[in-house]
Amino acid sequence: MSNTITDTNFNFPNQKSVYKGKVREVYNISDEQLVMIATDRLSAFDVVMPKGIPYKGQILNQIATKMMAATEDLVPNWLVATPDPNVAVGHLCEPFKVEMVIRGYMSGHAAREYKAGKRLLCGVPMPEGMKENDKFPEPIITPATKAEMGNHDEDISREDILKRGIVSDEDYIVLEDYTRKLFQRGTEIAEKRGLILVDTKYEFGKTKDGKIVLIDEIHTPDSSRYFYADGYQERQDRGEAQKQLSKEFVRQWLISNGFQGKGGQEVPFMSDTYIESVSERYIELYENITGETFVKADVSDIQSRIEANVLGYLERA
């Protein structure tokens, strides 16, 4: 679709390097700042889908920057400016090579592992007698290794992270503390919107002066799962699926079409009608999560728009 951005090849002044993740592309400027562009790529089961989703990058970027502003009193973050709807600019950081996943409910990956008979997830015990989408007695932290594009993130225990020296003991204590604080704040924000923050992941990095900060995205539908609070308990009592706001609907569609990112499986064909429906769901997610009407950016020439806005920012900075 021509109204999407799925790849960029900018050459900004004082550009040192470019890193391309599953969804975001990060430009290093002078080894001081990072220009992070949220593309419209859609990733599921650690596989990037062939077609972009209109407005998805704008939605992710704007939710993440709003949520960073709403949590910066608790946890410092990398963000400096948002010169374009799809762009965030922040301090250069060295990312920790783990994603801090925190789960308040037994859903998604945790539920699939539980159904397979596992009662330990990343070294953390899950109680017997739980049903899918039940609330855990306390939120559990289940970290994952940060995979390169094309590879799968893998579950890892706190003990293995420390034993393998991926994160120091001292830093890991901070990561856990920040993760719990952010999840608590995210839960409170969600409650005000009539939502339940089910699970999410946070990524952290270190600035040049050694400060641990929140990076990447926060509380977006790509990194988080939300349920509608209204009717949650009734649906659980009846054994029904929860009404949710996340990209789980994409995962379920892929599963129903025989795809889970496993070797030999082909990504099912996504029609333009289906792509449009995914875009509409992302807009619904934005409006429910933020409580604001989504304003579509001009997508007639996204590449030129982003380039002009970033160049203008860099000239002023």
pLDDT score of 1:
47
Its pTM stands at 0.89
pLDDT score of 134:
98
Distance CA 227, CA 21 (A): 27
| 38 phi/psi in degrees, rounded to 5 | -85, 110
pLDDT (tens digit per residue) in 21-78:
889 999 999 999 999 999 999 988 888 898 999 999 999 999 999 999 999 999 999 9
AA letter at 55: Y
Pull the structure tokens for residue 225: 């799962």
Residue 81 near residue 89, CB atoms below 8 Å = yes
Using 70 as the pLDDT threshold, list the residues of the chain that sit under it.
1-2, 147-152
pLDDT (tens digit per residue) in 90-113:
999 999 999 999 999 999 899 999
Pull the structure tokens for residue 131: 């049903």
